[in-house]
Amino acid sequence: MERAMISVEGLARRFGDHGQPAVFEDVWFGVEKGEFVCLIGHSGCGKTTILNVLAGLDRPSGGTVIVDNREIDGPSLDRAVIFQSHALLPWLSVLGNIAFAVSSRWPRWPRAKVREHALRFIELVGLKGAADKRPAELSGGMKQRVGIARALSIEPKMLLMDEPFSALDALTRGMLQDEVLRICAETQQTVFMITHDVDEAILLADRIVLMTNGPGACIAEFVVNTMPRAERQRNGLHRHPQYYAIRNHLVEFLVNRSRAFDREIAEHGYDSRRPRTVRPGLAAINPAAEVVPLRHAN
Amino acid sequence: MATLKESLALKSALLSVLLLAVFLGLWQLAAQPAASGGTIVDPEYAKLVGQAAATGSKTPMPTPADIGVALWKHLSDPFYVRGTNDKGIGIQLAWSIGRVLAGYLLAAAVAIPLGFLIGMSPLVYRALDPFIQVLKPVSPLAWMPLALYTIKDSQISSIFVIFICSIWPMLINTAFGVASVRREWLNVARTLEVGPFRKAFRVILPAAAPTIMTGMRISIGIAWLVIVAAEMLVGGTGIGYFVWNEWNNLSIANIVSAILLIGLVGLVLDQMLARIARLVTYPE
Amino acid sequence: MTMFTDPFDAKTLLSRRCACGGNHTPEQHLEATRVAASTEESWWTRVVDAAVLRAVFPHDAQRRLFLRTVGASTAMAAISTVFPLAIAREAFAQGGAPEKRDLKVGFIPITCATPIIMAHPMGFYSKHGLNVEVVKTAGWAVIRDKALNKEYDAAHMLAPMPIAISIGAGSNPIPFAMPAIENINGQAITLASKHKDKRSPKDWKGFRFAVPFDYSMHNYLLRYYVAEHGLDPDKDIQIRSVPPPEMVANLRADNIDGFLGPDPFNQRAVFDGVGFIHLLTKELWDGHPCCAFAVSKEFIAQNPNTYRALLKAIIEATAFASKADNRKEIAKAIAPQNYLNQPEIVLEQILTGTYADGLGAVKRDPKRIDFDPFPWPQFAIWILTQMKRWGQIKGDVDYAKIAADVYLATDTVQLMKEAGFTPPDPTRKTIVIMGKPFDASKPEAYLQSFAIRRS
């Protein structure tokens, strides 16, 4: 079987005694190179745990994660993480934070080269004038820009983002989303992102992974964002013909289906290794396309 | 805003001066020799006793003016040496500061690396905790006889007492600071594949530095408190010896001047560490 | 014999009275005639011999019997085996150069230490080629530890301390020699001024008293005194251990009603108008010991010449101090901060014995404090009887053995037995305390004679 760049295979995690039910179990999915994948689910379904396992910060109770055909056994500079709390080192300046990451990635680089490289990424996220400021002097949005710059500066093979914009106000969030969209387009980054914001997922993701509620959460289905990247503009998104169909599908899942997915399994059957893939956007513009196979090979 | 702040500072300074003036005034009044019954004694007797005793009363407490005179006398010639047991107050203070720094720096050299290890390992933390809890509350001076008995050198013993009393706040704060470094900062280091030494010096140390500095500040305060007591016990040199020597002479004026200087040096030591602490403190 | 009686002459009486017949000690006589002496060597030979012999034979008759029987040379040979008399004399008579010139001698700043202290400013140490640093020390325990730790080469101690060290109480048993008592008398009972009218101990029920140390002559004398007046020191009054400088402060603060303590603090209480001198301890027991000059035996063995020079300086200083005419000069020398750190007028009153009593009278007692270097074994035995009397030591006390552990004399007794002589009884010197004689040969009987006692 041809594996995706990231292949999550049969992942499970339980806390405490073995008698405890798993938070999630039998989770299978993949992320292709250059793909932007969002994972959506309610709190408590173990989204962040999955991301931590991908990052190598947490160990699963069962299953493995294969990256580039190799099972991961810990954190790696290939997988950069953007933390929800931005996790900047408060005693270092903006430049210091990024330079710390750069010199960790390339320990032999001379100081000047590290600095020059770090400044390039500060400029990329639009913080050119704030390089010497301490994190405490920055607004929440600026802090997260530094977090993004730090993650990108080590030129990772993929970005792992844990609800990176959830702590920001709506305006800042929107601007940063545009920024991420632009940067990902420029750098062809592979991204795996956790969110519970439906609009954010529609704006950013090429594919959205829906997760049922815990305990014992699993992947319900994959929603392909059939809106082309070029057409995804934040300002005009709601006017896009596919938008509401996709949005309604996601909201319907989060509001109703995620709770009672057991029933769906009982009615339609379920293959944990190949959850079905749906394209609600296409149905909106071409009702014929609504004929969605129950089982869709990835 | 600035003017408001300035006027507050001015007012508080004025109030401080006023309080001091009232305090000194009351003291001066209270310390005036009481008008005695005027017992007339023979002049030969009067020559043999103090002024107050000659008229049947007790030698009064020194007045603030007496203390000012004593203080001026000490400060105008602080570094004289007139024999083994008679040296200027500057020399005595230098001895005390030297002992405090020696014991304190030794304690820091032990407490910070050890605290690091303890903080990094929950196992070691738990294993050592009972010992620390038992040893920490021991009054530093209780160590003195043991130190004298085993070390057999009073100079090293007093440094040891400083060491043993200043080690605990630093050890506990370092361990606590290291143990409570935010998980996300450690995660940043992990995802950047930072080696253990770089992690210790670039992440954990700066993260724990404010807590460690707090411990060091508590420690220097304790060390300075203890040196005076230790020197009173062991004698020889130092400001504690000076106080003891003047106590022996029942010279309250000299003792009060020494108290003022002890407070001043303590303040300077504390402020020096506070300044260093400010350098390593980071706002979050 | 113009200089000094030959102690090895069987016919001579060797007493505390000077051989010239005048009413002064031999040392005073010596001091007076020393300047005229043609050779100091012979003077020192006599002093050393007399000191040793007197320690060995406190009872003069027995010394004479001993000398008559064995002859002076045999006696000297016998004594030399236990006390290196020849070496000592040689060294004392400008013998070998001191092995160690830079010495540290610890003292507690009280007038008992006068000879040790004054030998520094008055040049007694330097005269004997020693560079002595006299170091003021904070307390008895510290001075003991510093002496044991060899930070001090010699030290000022309370007379009972060598006993305590040799029986291993409070420290490891380390052989310590007490070559000289420093002072006799020199303590006093001081009462708060408000007790002016309560001059009889019978009025002292409920009084709180301070003494410098539990194991001190001060404690034993105070207990003895009140007990003789029918008060039980453990029930009718309170006695606490208080460092001497704090005695005056406590008296002033009304925390205690009085103290039996060392000078200068008795006179200091008078000087500051806080109390009055009820009586001098001399009035209880004229000639009681208080403090001692102590050296470890290890130091003596390693630095015999230094030891002799040091002892020579101390004995000379003591002799100088015992002379009344010198007392004013001494008071001036030891008053500065480097030494006692006390007003000169206070020290002068203590040393000259012309003092204000705190009640408006000037009293004169030239023997208020005196200086006498000779350690009598009877002192040790009396101290032991009082330790037992007040329950500080329990069970059977081997008085002779403990005295033997502390005093060289016992070794000589042993040697004499081996030579076939009846050894003198070193406990036959009688002591009279408050009119009651103490026979050191019958310590248990003496102890049983007290109505108030713990054992």
Residue B268 binned pLDDT confidence (cut-offs 50, 70, 90): very high
ipTM score for this prediction:
0.84
Compare all CA atoms of chain A with the CA of B284 and give the residue at the minimum distance.
A136
Mean pLDDT score of chain B: 85
Quote the pTM value. Answer: 0.74
First to last CA, chain A: 11
| Domain membership flag for residue B105 | yes
What is the interface size between B and C, counted as CB pairs within 8 Å? 120
Nearest to C426 by CA among C79, C53, C19, C13: C53
The minimal CB distance from B190 to the residues A75, A91, A101 is found for A75
Predicted confidence at residue C3, as pLDDT, reads 29
B283 interaction partners in chain A (CB closer than 8 Å)? 90, 134, 136
* Contact between C142 and B154 using a beta-carbon 8 Å cutoff: yes
Segment A68-79, tens digit of pLDDT: 888 888 898 989
Write down which chains contact chain A via at least 3 CB pairs under 8 A.
Answer: B
CATH of residue C325: 3.40.190.10
Residue-wise pLDDT for B103-118, tens only, equals 999 999 999 999 998 9
Chain B residue with CA closest to A55: the answer is: B191
Q: Residues, chain A, total?
A: 298
Chains B and A touch (3+ CB pairs under 8 A): yes
Confidence grade of residue C29 (pLDDT, cut at 50, 70, 90)? very low
Q: Is the pLDDT of residue C1 over 60?
A: no
CA Rg value for chain A: 20
Q: Above 60 in pLDDT, residue B244? A: yes
- Cβ neighbours of A262 (radius 10 Å): 11
Per residue in C365-416, pLDDT tens?
888 888 766 666 778 788 888 888 888 777 777 777 676 666 544 433 443 3
Identify the three-state secondary structure at position A50. helix
Q: For residue B111, tell me if it sits in a domain.
A: yes
Containing structural domain, residue C88 = 40-94
Which residues in chain B have their CB less than 8 angstroms from residue A134's CB?
282-283
Categorise residue A10: left if φ over 0, alpha if ψ from -120 to 50, beta otherwise: left
Please list every residue in chain B whose beta carbon sits closer than 8 Å to the beta carbon of residue C133.
84
- C274: which chain B residues are within 8 Å (Cβ-Cβ)? 58-59
> How far C278 CA sits from the closest chain B CA (Å)?
16
pLDDT tens by residue, A26-65: 889 989 988 999 999 888 788 888 999 999 998 888 889 9
Q: Are residues C179 and C44 in the same domain?
A: no
pLDDT of C125 above 80: yes
> Is B49 domain-assigned?
no
| Domain identity same for C390 and C442 | yes
Are C159 and C58 members of one domain? no
pLDDT at A289: 54
Higher pLDDT, A108 or C27: A108
Helix C399-406 crosses helix C377-389 at what angle (to 10 degrees)? 130
Q: B204 or A168: whose pLDDT is higher?
A: B204
Chains touching C, CB cut-off 8 Å, 3+ pairs: B
In a domain, C71, yes or no: yes
Residue B171 belongs to some domain of the structure: yes
Check CB contact of B42 with chain C, cutoff 8 Å: yes
**Burial class of residue A200 in the structure, from the number of CB atoms within 10 Å of its CB (0-12 exposed, 13-18 middle, 19+ buried):** buried
Q: What is the DSSP string of B99-152?
A: HHHHHHHHHHHHHHHHHHHHHH-HHHHHHHHHHHHHHTTS-GGGHHHHHHHHH-
Section B94-101 average pLDDT = 92
A154 touches chain B (CB under 8 A): yes
| CATH architecture of the domain with range A6-78+157-258+277-291 | 3-Layer(aba) Sandwich (3.40)
Mean pLDDT (whole number) for A142-161: 90
Name the domain count of chain C. Answer: 2
B252: domain CATH number is 1.10.3720.10
Q: Would you say residue B38 lies in a domain?
A: no
A134 contacts B283? CB cut-off 8 A: yes
Containing structural domain, residue B159: 89-280
Domain boundary among C94, C113, C133: C94
* Chains A–B, number of C-beta pairs less than 8 Å apart: 60
Separation CA C59–CA C74 (nearest Å): 19
Q: CA end-to-end span of chain C, whole Å? A: 51
| B266 is a domain residue | yes
The tens digit of pLDDT for each residue in A258-279 reads 888 888 888 887 888 888 888 8
* Residues of chain C neighbouring B57 (CB-CB closer than 8 A): 273
Domain ranges in chain A with CATH number 3.40.50.300: 6-78+157-258+277-291
Does any domain span residue B77?
no
- CB-based contact, B283 to chain A, within 8 Å: yes
Structure tokens at A256: 């109703």
Distance separating alpha carbons of residues C163 and B80, to the nearest angstrom? 40
Question: What pLDDT sits at residue C330?
Answer: 85
Helices (H), chain B: 2-30, 43-48, 51-54, 64-76, 89-120, 122-135, 143-151, 154-179, 183-191, 196-199, 205-234, 239-248, 252-280
Mean pLDDT of the A96-123 span: 93
Residues 230-269 of B with CB under 8 A from C: 232-236, 241, 244-250
In a domain, C206, yes or no: no
Contact yes or no, C with A (3+ CB pairs under 8 Å) = no
> Which residues of chain A neighbour B198 with C-beta distances below 8 Å?
104
- B132 in a domain, yes or no? yes
**CA gap C388, C379 in Å, rounded:** 14
- Considering CB atoms only, which of B45, B59, B84 is closest to C134? B84
The answer as to whether C355 is a domain residue is no
Number of domains in chain B: 1
Residues 6+ apart with CB under 8 A from C104: C132, C133, C135, C151, C152, C153
Residue range C161-179: mean pLDDT, rounded: 64
Beta bridge partners, C433, equal C436
Query: Is the pLDDT score of C202 beyond 60?
Result: yes
Out of B137-141, C129-133, C422-426, pick the least confident.
Answer: C422-426
**pLDDT for res C178:** 67
Q: Is A143 on the interface with B (CB under 8 A)?
A: no
